[in-house]
């Protein structure tokens, strides 16, 4: 691919136009329909956001997409059996796991065998056969809606060939956590357009852990991820995302959710390692009693960059939302947080809170935070707060005076700083897992997922 213009989007449009037939051949009908609509909207003057654009002051999306990334159009399977070498299971709970290798969905044997009744975790292509019409009914309704659909999301719609569906039927409570492991193992610079659709029918309940890993080293990877979540009345979803890739891997992700009456959406998004990361969360509290809690953390060092954007939209009365984002930035790392709460005129008795706290562990690290409230209704309780500072020196001396070495005291204080973000996770074993991973990360241990052999070591080759 040649980047013939100064517009990163152009190269992907050219790629798409040249290979549309092959791309469509690997896509289910709803995906093809989404693609056609996206292509029309990506005509000039459409371009990817740059720093001058509102909401992107700290992250140049155009620059992230600018390198000459390849896309797996020919559906060449990843050269190793990732699933077999992966031991990413969470201790003490049996998760129902699937792998997304690059952008290709691969269920594990245990997933297929143990899937509880009423729960589906599968590819769009499979879903079209077993539950026809379901994906088409939801796909793109939030992410690609006219209002607010950004170019990076439309580009995902253009390039994603398949996607992952999680569907839980009405009243079904899935007690076992589901897990989706995204893995890059690239030989050439690769862009994976990942698409996720989560539909919980009324009264359904589930938890999903999504992990990002990169096995290859020294090869640029870019994950474009768009997730849409539909929660029916009284449904409940715990959604955990854990990014543990490497400095060569960037991520441009957006999550869009619609929360039904008395439904609850819990999100925890943690970036422990990566290159440049941009996460957007757009949550619509559409019906009375809807509730959303979003927590996130970033622990960044080197030249890592993490940008989290939230937009919580209170459309209906008696909804509550809370946001808690914390960053620890070391080295020359940079962080950004931009959070918007909008309360519509009809959304009386709203409760909405937003907190962003940041620790700068070095003089070179930078943080930009921009909390925003737009309230068009009088009957609300809203609040936001943002602080950026250094480690508490009084606490540090107190600990050292008790004999705790400086490095350990620092680590303990940083861990303590992140404790409330970890504690937002409802599933105890996941919570313990994240706590351990945070500890390791702060210890400077370069680990991907604990004892997961696949994610830490270069992938073993099956080639002779």
Partner 1 sequence: MQQDILLKVTDLHAAIDGREILKGIDLEIHPGEVHAIMGPNGSGKSTLSGVLAGDPRYTVTAGSATFHGVDLLALAPENRSHEGLFLSFQYPVEIPGVSMVNFMRAAVNAKREYLGEPPLSASDFLKLMRNKRAVVELDNKLASRSVNEGFSGGEKKRNEIFQMAMLEPRLSILDETDSGLDIDALRIVASGVNKLKTQHNATIVITHYQRLLDYIRPDFVHILYKGRIVHSGGPELALELEEKGYDWIKQQVDNDEQQQ
Residue numbers at the binding site for partner 1 (CB under 8 A): 392-395, 397-406, 408, 412-413, 415-417, 419-420
Q: In this structure, how many other beta carbons lie within 10 angstroms of the beta carbon of residue 94? A: 11
Write out the two tokens for 111: 């997933």
Q: In this structure, how many other beta carbons lie within 10 angstroms of the beta carbon of residue 419? A: 11
Roughly how many angstroms between the first and final C-alpha of the chain, as a whole number?
Answer: 31
CB of 414 to partner 1, least distance (A): 10
CB of 406 to partner 1, least distance (A): 7
CB of 409 to partner 1, least distance (A): 8
CB of 402 to partner 1, least distance (A): 4
Q: In this structure, how many other beta carbons lie within 10 angstroms of the beta carbon of residue 381? A: 10
CB of 352 to partner 1, least distance (A): 24
Q: Which is nearer to partner 1, 173 or 407 (CB)?
A: 407
- Outline where 139-191 has alpha helix (H): 151-159
Q: Which is nearer to partner 1, 281 or 325 (CB)?
A: 325
**Is residue 33 a contact partner of residue 135, using CB atoms and an 8 Å limit?**
no
β-sheet with 190-200: strand ranges across: 119-123, 164-168, 190-200, 221-231, 249-259, 276-285, 305-314, 334-343, 366-375
**Is residue 17 a contact partner of residue 11, using CB atoms and an 8 Å limit?**
no
Write out the two tokens for 449: 């997922």
Q: Which is nearer to partner 1, 73 or 412 (CB)?
A: 412
The rounded distance, in Å, linking the Cα atoms of 124 and 193 is 14
Cα dist from 388 to 146, 247, 373, whole Å: 36, 24, 19
CB of 404 to partner 1, least distance (A): 5
CB of 109 to partner 1, least distance (A): 38
Q: Which is nearer to partner 1, 70 or 385 (CB)?
A: 385
Q: Which is nearer to partner 1, 52 or 394 (CB)?
A: 394
CB of 405 to partner 1, least distance (A): 5
Q: Which is nearer to partner 1, 112 or 419 (CB)?
A: 419
Q: Which is nearer to partner 1, 311 or 417 (CB)?
A: 417
CB of 90 to partner 1, least distance (A): 23
Q: Which is nearer to partner 1, 26 or 400 (CB)?
A: 400
The rounded distance, in Å, linking the Cα atoms of 221 and 214 is 8
Going by C-beta distance under 8 Å and a sequence separation of 6 or more, which residues neighbour residue 19?
A: 73
Q: Which is nearer to partner 1, 84 or 419 (CB)?
A: 419
Q: In this structure, how many other beta carbons lie within 10 angstroms of the beta carbon of residue 172? A: 18
CB of 324 to partner 1, least distance (A): 14
The rounded distance, in Å, linking the Cα atoms of 49 and 51 is 7
The rounded distance, in Å, linking the Cα atoms of 65 and 313 is 29
Q: Which is nearer to partner 1, 403 or 464 (CB)?
A: 403
Write out the two tokens for 242: 């854990």
CB of 358 to partner 1, least distance (A): 16
**Is residue 312 a contact partner of residue 341, using CB atoms and an 8 Å limit?**
yes
Q: In this structure, how many other beta carbons lie within 10 angstroms of the beta carbon of residue 281? A: 24
φ, ψ dihedrals at 16, nearest 5°? -60, -50
| 3 state DSSP class of 18 | helix
Nearest to 232 by CA among 256, 193, 202, 273: 202
Q: Which is nearer to partner 1, 15 or 399 (CB)?
A: 399
Q: What angle do CA 88, 306, 195 make, to 5 degrees?
A: 55
């Amino acid at each position: 691919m040649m980047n013939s213009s100064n517009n990163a989007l152009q190269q992907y449009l050219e790629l798409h136009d040249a290979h549309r037939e092959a791309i469509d051949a690997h896509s289910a009908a709803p995906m093809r329909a989404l693609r056609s609509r996206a292509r029309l909207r990506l005509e000039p003057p459409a371009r990817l956001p740059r720093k001058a654009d509102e909401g992107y002051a700290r992250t140049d999306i155009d620059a992230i997409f600018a390198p000459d990334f390849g896309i797996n159009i020919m559906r060449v399977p990843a050269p190793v059996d990732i699933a077999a070498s992966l031991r990413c299971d969470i201790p003490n709970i049996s998760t129902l796991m699937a792998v997304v290798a690059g952008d290709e969905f691969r269920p594990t044997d245990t997933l297929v065998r143990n899937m509880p009744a009423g729960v589906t975790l599968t590819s769009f292509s499979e879903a079209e056969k077993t539950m026809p019409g379901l994906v088409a009914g939801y796909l793109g309704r939030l992410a690609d809606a006219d209002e607010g659909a950004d170019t990076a999301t439309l580009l995902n719609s253009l390039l994603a060939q398949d996607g992952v569906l999680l569907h839980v039927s009405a009243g079904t409570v899935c007690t076992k956590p589901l897990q989706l492991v995204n893995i890059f193992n690239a030989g050439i610079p690769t862009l994976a357009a990942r698409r996720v659709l989560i539909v919980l029918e009324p009264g359904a309940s589930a938890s999903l852990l999504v992990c990002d890993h990169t096995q290859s080293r020294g090869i640029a990877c870019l994950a474009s991820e768009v997730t849409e979540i539909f929660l029916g009345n009284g449904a409940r979803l715990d959604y955990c995302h854990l990014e543990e890739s490497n400095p060569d891997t960037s991520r441009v992700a957006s999550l869009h959710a619609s929360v039904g009456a008395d439904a609850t959406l819990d999100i925890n998004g943690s970036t422990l390692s990566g290159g440049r990361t941009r996460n957007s969360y757009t949550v619509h509290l559409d019906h009375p009693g809807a509730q959303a809690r979003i927590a996130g953390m970033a622990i960044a060092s080197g030249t890592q960059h993490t940008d989290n954007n939230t937009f919580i939209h209170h459309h209906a009365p008696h909804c509550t939302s809370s946001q808690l984002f914390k960053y620890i930035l070391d080295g020359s790392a940079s962080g950004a947080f931009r959070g918007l709460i909008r309360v519509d005129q009809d959304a009386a008795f709203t409760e909405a809170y937003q907190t962003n706290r940041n620790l700068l562990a070095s003089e070179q690290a930078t943080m930009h935070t921009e909390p925003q409230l737009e309230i068009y209704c009088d009957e609300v309780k809203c609040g936001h707060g943002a602080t950026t500072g250094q480690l508490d020196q009084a606490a540090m001396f107190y600990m050292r005076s008790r004999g705790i070495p400086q490095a350990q005291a620092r680590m303990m204080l940083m861990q303590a700083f992140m404790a409330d973000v970890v504690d937002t996770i409802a599933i105890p074993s996941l919570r313990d897992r994240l706590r351990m991973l945070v500890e390791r990360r702060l210890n400077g241990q370069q680990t991907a997922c604990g004892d997961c052999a696949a994610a830490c070591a270069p992938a073993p080759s099956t080639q002779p």
